[in-house]
Copies of this chain bind each other. A is one copy, B any other.
Amino acid sequence: MENQVTLPRPHFKKVVLIGVGLIGGSFALALKKSHAVTHIVGVDRHANSLQLAQQLGIVDSFTDDIGAAVIDADLIMIATPVAQTTKILSAIYPHLQPGTIVTDAGSTKADVVAAARESLQEKNAQFVPAHPIAGREKNGPDAALADLYVGKKVVITRSPENTNEAVEMVAQAWKLCGAIIHHLSPQEHDQVFASVSHLPHLLAYTLVADIAAKPHADRLFQYAASGFRDFTRIAGSSPEMWRDISLANRDALLQELDSYTEQLAKLRISLVERDAQAIEDVYRRAQQARVNWIAAIEVAEAQSKDGGD
């Protein structure tokens, strides 16, 4: 499917990091750890984040002049909440030189691809959209980890305009971070993540908000145990980031939500009718699927320890 181009181990003279939080900061720290970069310039809405990022060795310098920052850059990484991508790409566009590759780390891709095509126009071939599948409960530069991406998947959703060289440059940068490269179309990507990530976040947020709004919320939280803690861990994520993701991937998310609520309504009927067999069937299919999934993960982890891709 992919015409792989083998390049020598890349070195980046100048990387521009737009958004110096968990995702961007971890990318920067990983590139630095592999000695693959000479200089990283930080750009961020929050001045205190930039100062912290410099103190933590994530960036070597920072600026609020995005136009000046991108001059002579090899690579520009956009690692901001997805709703900001259009504005950032538009700010970059007039200053973007032919030798520079732009990529992003957004959790949705069809909207980013559309925004880039509109903002970057004839320079759109230089933008390679990607999504690293990694995260933590914490946000901000002080949450960044050099090994956040080790063994994690990065999905590249290349555009028809992208050259193999441009795609390979982004892939190489992520491989230097220890990540494993996958390729999907933007639509495939968004549909997959609506199902296994965006919907679970929406469900977890809604449950915790529902419980918190009850008059006896204190007692409820008092008896919530480790199962609830794990189930709601993702409701500890950034509300702004997930608001943006929910809106950016609205159509796929609505489709998954409707499919889910349909199943929930069926189970509700089984419960009303005290249909033990129907309830057990759903629970058993879920348990079996999850056991198989965990077993597959463990096989994959064992293989990657043996030195796979």
Chain B residues whose C-beta falls within 8 Å of the C-beta of A217 in the assembled complex: 289
Chain B residues whose C-beta falls within 8 Å of the C-beta of A231 in the assembled complex: 200, 203-204, 230-231, 233-234
Stretch with Cβ within 8 A of B (4 or more), from A33-41, A45-53, A61-69, A259-267? A259-267
| Docked CA distance A206–B196 (Å) | 13
Q: Is the interface of A mostly helix, strand, loop or mixed?
A: helix
A192 within 8 A of B: yes
Q: Cβ of A196 and Cβ of B223 under 8 Å apart?
A: yes
Chain B residues whose C-beta falls within 8 Å of the C-beta of A223 in the assembled complex: 133, 153, 155, 182, 192-193, 196
Per assembly, the copies of the chain total 2
- A217-243 interface code vs B (CB 8 A; 1 in, 0 out): 101110111111111111111111011
Q: Cβ of A285 and Cβ of B230 under 8 Å apart?
A: no
Stretch with Cβ within 8 A of B (4 or more), from A15-23, A70-78, A171-179, A247-255? A247-255
- We find that the number of chain A residues with CB closer than 8 angstroms to chain B is 87
A201 within 8 A of B: yes
| Residues on A facing B (Cβ under 8 Å) | 133-135, 152-153, 155, 182, 188, 192-193, 195-197, 199-214, 217, 219-221, 223-240, 242-243, 246-247, 250, 253-254, 257, 259-261, 263-265, 267-268, 271-272, 274, 276, 279-280, 282-291, 293-294, 296-297
14 new A-B contacts at CB < 8 Å, known A207-B286, A209-B263: A193-B223, A195-B211, A200-B227, A202-B267, A203-B207, A206-B263, A208-B290, A209-B283, A212-B286, A231-B233, A236-B294, A238-B287, A247-B274, A254-B268
Q: 6 nearest interchain CB pairs?
A: A212-B289, A239-B283, A208-B286, A196-B224, A239-B284, A209-B286
